[in-house]
Amino acid sequence: MTTLLDARTAYFEANGFGEDGGYSKATVTVTVLGIPFQIPNTQGRKRAVVFHDMHHLVTGYATTNLGEAEISAWELASGCWEYRAAWVLNTGGLLLGVFTNPTRLFRAFVRGRHSSNLYGRDVDALLRRPVDEVRRELGLADAPGPASIADVGAFALHLACSLAAAGLPLSFIGWLLVRLF
């Protein structure tokens, strides 16, 4: 019976995140389409990433670009509004996923709509619990049923919000590129 703590320790090691998962670092490297970016490890991100890492363990989504896109869709659909850093990072992940593998992204979103997540729970208590038990509690033990019209509508709404949120920075980058070249 593997606990979340045991699974998280192995996850940190397998991904080269360091003993504390990189939680204490001032900046973290995020790789998008093979391009590494340094982002500040803000208090909001630190508060959210503890749950995000456990979500990787209970959902089984990888730390690849596609896996991060899937977990972004799942977290948005299962509810991360109170964790603004998670919401911001996940909207970016949703956009990445819609261009790389929209089918798997949509499946992860639907799975999130029909399950719950760990945001806001007692981290220390969670880490002592068996992974399989937490997975069952969140509704992740069984495959979700077919997508409903409401699932499709919610996905479209989240995607539209993500595109709108990305519009301003993308416009600035486009303007900058035009000015530089």
Spatial distance between the Cα atoms of 1 and 178, rounded to a whole number of angstroms: 56
What's the pLDDT score for residue 32?
A: 74
Instruction: Annotate 37-82 with DSSP letters as a single string.
Output: EEEE--HHHHHHHHHHHHHHHHH---SSHHHHHHHHHHHHHH--TT
Integer angstrom CA distances of residue 26 from 14, 29, 42, 43, 46: 22, 10, 8, 10, 10
- pLDDT, average across residues 76-102: 91
Per residue in 101-111, pLDDT (tens digit) is 999 999 999 99
Q: How far is CA 123 from the centre of its chain?
A: 17
In total, how many domains does the chain have?
A: 1
Domain range holding 94?
4-180
The residue type of 160 is A
Segment among 33-42, 77-86, 125-134 with least mean pLDDT: 33-42
Per residue in 124-167, pLDDT (tens digit) is 999 999 999 999 999 999 888 899 999 999 999 999 888 887 76
What tokens appear for 21 in the block? 């998962």
Q: How far is CA 162 from the centre of its chain?
A: 14
What's the pLDDT score for residue 149?
A: 97
* pLDDT bucket at 178, cuts 50 / 70 / 90: low
Q: Is the pLDDT of residue 26 over 70?
A: yes
Residue pointed to by tokens 């109170």: 82
What tokens appear for 12 in the block? 């940190």
Q: Work out whether the CA dihedral 18, 23, 25, 31 comes out positive or negative.
A: positive
Spatial distance between the Cα atoms of 80 and 123, rounded to a whole number of angstroms: 16
Q: With contact defined as beta carbons under 8 Å apart, do 97 and 104 qualify?
A: yes
* pLDDT bucket at 171, cuts 50 / 70 / 90: low
Secondary element (H or E) of residue 104: helix 102-113
Return phi, psi of residue 87, to 5°: -60, -45
Tell me the β-bridge partners of 157. none
Spatial distance between the Cα atoms of 149 and 173, rounded to a whole number of angstroms: 35
